Amino acid sequence: MALSRRGFLAGAAAPFAFRDDTRAQLDRLDFARAAAEDDGFWRELRGFFDVDPAITSFNHAGLSPSPRAVREALAAQQRRANTDPSQVIWRQQDQELEEVRERLAGLLGCGVEELALTPNATYGLHTVILGLPLQRGDEILTTVHDYSRAFNAMRQRERRDGTVTVEVPLDSPPADPGAVAAAILERLTPRTRLVVLSQMTYLSGQLLPVRAVADVLARRGLPLLVDGAHGIGLLPDTVAELGGAFYTACLHKWLMGPVGTGVLVARSAWIDKAWPLHPGEEALDRRISKFEQYGTRPAAPFLALHEALDFHERLGRERKAARLEALKARLAAPLLGLPGVRPCSSLDPTRSRALWTVGFDRVEPRALVAWLWERHRIHVTAAEAGGLRAIRISPNVFTTHAEVDRLAGILVRVTREGL
């Protein structure tokens, strides 16, 4: 059947109806019941997601599902682009990205002219680590729990340019933030040229003392690259409050945006200090857009961020954070103090957030990960880096008490009996 002009226009306009629909659906929820322990509210919120009832995922720190409205907006924007890709993507959707950029800059507390739209957090890590001018013997300072892909870039610079990666060890469970800051700052030397720190580590959810380090580096004129992949959408700190020269994040974790969306923030004074991964015109050398010159890209994932941001704003960061802390505490309670259980995270929210990373003397992490999936259809991941030998458990806000209690009960039996 041929598509009429009226039908075509209705289809083309469809993406713009989603935002009002999302707000209206959320407004039907009773947010007065949105306490962290009110499992009924969060089970109702679960209906906004496509959740497979046959499995239980506890790896949402790796990838969170997007609300259904985000997925539908993404599909609608993709359909719209496919009607005439060069016209729609380049002349329409690319222009519409400015509103997305403005909303993200507002969320992060930075200038629009400081924010680049990127595919993920890794893109920003690699851009800065590989793009700052460094010479043989120059040092990049980080911690043993920073992200594995950041280490990939640092190792490549070692091979290519003869730089040195300095790794600060971290205690598990996390030590006092003041002690951590002191340990990091003690490793600064006259050869330090860049410091790379996670706002919240991917291995155990440890909160690193970013601001304390940033203040010292600023006085010395040294750049700090903040990996905010696990902070955005969960932690309150803006880019200005964190400090540092650069900030990178993906938007598919606690912000629940589409895969393929991220940001790189470069403070104005540092934009021209780093070469982009993909060369742009010389006229862009001092502009943030030089970090977006990686060829044709779909605009649809970024435009669907409107739905994710609406969902985030209506639900509220504080509610999300409180729910995740409550679920973590509920999971940990039956295990704490049992022989052979080695907590690697902390229940102190000033030291770690959202994730519960724990090791077991009777079983290797990878064997436990495989057994939980094969026997129980429970998805967790191993945390085996920086001295850790553990599994990482990360619920979502819609994870139920029953799912948490089931996993905790299984792990208690593993503690006593093994696999």
Give the rounded distance of the alpha carbon of 16 from its chain centre.
Answer: 27
Contact 240, 215 (CB under 8 A): no
pLDDT at 19: 64
Alpha-carbon distance of 98 to 292, in angstroms, equals: 13
pLDDT at 24: 77
**Mapping DSSP to helix (H, G, I), strand (E, B) and coil, where does residue 98 land?**
helix
> How many residues can be counted in the chain?
419
Q: What are the pLDDT digits (tens) for 172-217?
A: 999 999 999 999 999 999 999 999 999 999 999 999 999 999 999 9
What is the CATH topology of the domain spanning 91-308? Aspartate Aminotransferase; domain 2 (3.40.640)
Alpha-carbon distance of 376 to 369, in angstroms, equals: 10
Task: Output the average pLDDT for the chain.
Answer: 94
**pLDDT (average), residues 347-368:** 97
**pLDDT (average), residues 33-39:** 93
**pLDDT (average), residues 41-49:** 95
Distances (CA, A) of 141 to 168, 192, 249: 8, 7, 19
68-82 helix and 5-13 helix, angle to the nearest 10 degrees: 130
Residue 16 has pLDDT above 60, yes or no: no
Q: Domain locations in the chain?
A: 91-308
pLDDT at 1: 34
pLDDT at 32: 82
Say how many C-beta atoms besides its own lie within 10 A of residue 417's C-beta.
9
pLDDT band at 33, cuts 50/70/90? confident
**Cα dihedral sign for 366, 372, 374, 379?**
negative
Q: What are the pLDDT digits (tens) for 250-283?
A: 999 999 999 999 999 999 999 999 999 999 999 9
Lowest mean pLDDT among 2-16, 51-65, 373-387: 2-16
Q: What are the pLDDT digits (tens) for 214-259?
A: 999 999 999 999 999 999 999 999 999 999 999 999 999 999 999 9
